[in-house]
Amino acid sequence: MCIHGYKRGGVNILRIHLRQLIKAFVLLLFAVFIFILHESGEIGRFINPDYLYFSQIASVLFLFLFFIQVPRIFTTTEHDHSQCGPWGCTHDDDNGGSFSLQTFISYGIIILPLVTGFLLPYKDFGAAEAQKRGVSYSTYHDHGDLEDHELFPQEKDILEIINEPALYFDNTNFADYLTSITTYPEGFIGKSIELDGFILEDDFHVNSKRTVITRFLVTHCVADAHAAGIVIEDGSSLGIKENSWIRVKGKLDVQKEGEWLIPVIKVDSWKEIDLPLDPYIYP
């Protein structure tokens, strides 16, 4: 698109550069996309809430860069038409909008997150993703009795958890409780427990398929999410479907497999629940 204005025999041409226009549009879309995620609350499905301010800063930065980019869309060049031939002027073909294959690929890679973010539905991690990444629910060997050696600060916290009459897991204590149980499993034998999670049928061990009530723990963002949980004793006989969310109540016990100690839940009762609004644990 060109707007012509005459000046001293030459012509001032106001041009819209397609590349600069696309760059500005992409910057604006990134700012809008992050804003929408915050406004809808969906941002919590991708990053740890402790880092929300980083994404807010990113949104403002994209918007700032957009306003810097806008003036670059419009440029004025002066052309002398005295050298133009009868078949027109070759400089009219130079509109700053030519694209090479490399340019298309580069823009495609940059735009891909926006296309998927705006057009594809969000899907929370579940059993399939946990199978791919693996799930942790055991410890290599027993560390002995906490009271038999000098306690480190974190071990004092574990001792406090062991002394609790029952363990009721929620999003704030899930990681601490689970770490304590898998670190000193024999200290929790007979302890009452209640927790929510999705069901994973772990068939990593050929001879022993285990039903695990699982949650994803996210340290920074979903890219570093890892699955962890507790084995449900005789879970296959309870009729619980894989990837369903349940609330289970029972008592803790320990199974030994060589040098491995596996905490297990002896189920008293369980019921299926809806997918929680915050399916991930942020330790």
Task: Report the alpha-carbon distance of residue 141 to residue 137 in Å, rounded.
Answer: 13
Residues 98 and 157 in one domain: no
Residues 100 and 180 in one domain: no
Among 119, 143, 166, the domain-final residue is 119
Task: Report the alpha-carbon distance of residue 203 to residue 209 in Å, rounded.
Answer: 5
What is the residue range of 69's domain?
2-119
Distances (CA, A) of 256 to 4, 138, 169: 84, 10, 24
Residues 32 and 70 in one domain: yes
Residues 141 and 110 in one domain: no
Quick one: pLDDT band at residue 267, thresholds 50, 70, 90?
Answer: very high
Quote the DSSP letter at residue 134: -
Residues 66 and 150 in one domain: no
- The per-residue pLDDT for range 151-199, each reduced to its tens digit, is 555 666 888 898 899 999 999 999 999 999 988 888 899 999 999 999 9
Quick one: pLDDT band at residue 249, thresholds 50, 70, 90?
Answer: very high
Quick one: pLDDT band at residue 60, thresholds 50, 70, 90?
Answer: very high
Residues 133 and 228 in one domain: yes
pLDDT at 108: 87
Among 99, 119, 139, the domain-final residue is 119
| Range scoring the smallest mean pLDDT among 20-29, 86-95, 216-225 | 86-95
Task: Report the alpha-carbon distance of residue 80 to residue 11 in Å, rounded.
Answer: 7
Is pLDDT of 95 > 90?
A: no
Quick one: pLDDT band at residue 92, thresholds 50, 70, 90?
Answer: very low
More confident residue, 146 or 82: 146
Nearest CA among 125, 109, 128, 139 for reference residue 224: 125
What's the number of domains the chain is made of? 2
- Token pair belonging to 127: 């059993």
Strands of the sheet with 74-79, listed across from one edge: 2-7, 10-16, 74-79
- Token pair belonging to 143: 């560390």
Residues 148 and 24 in one domain: no
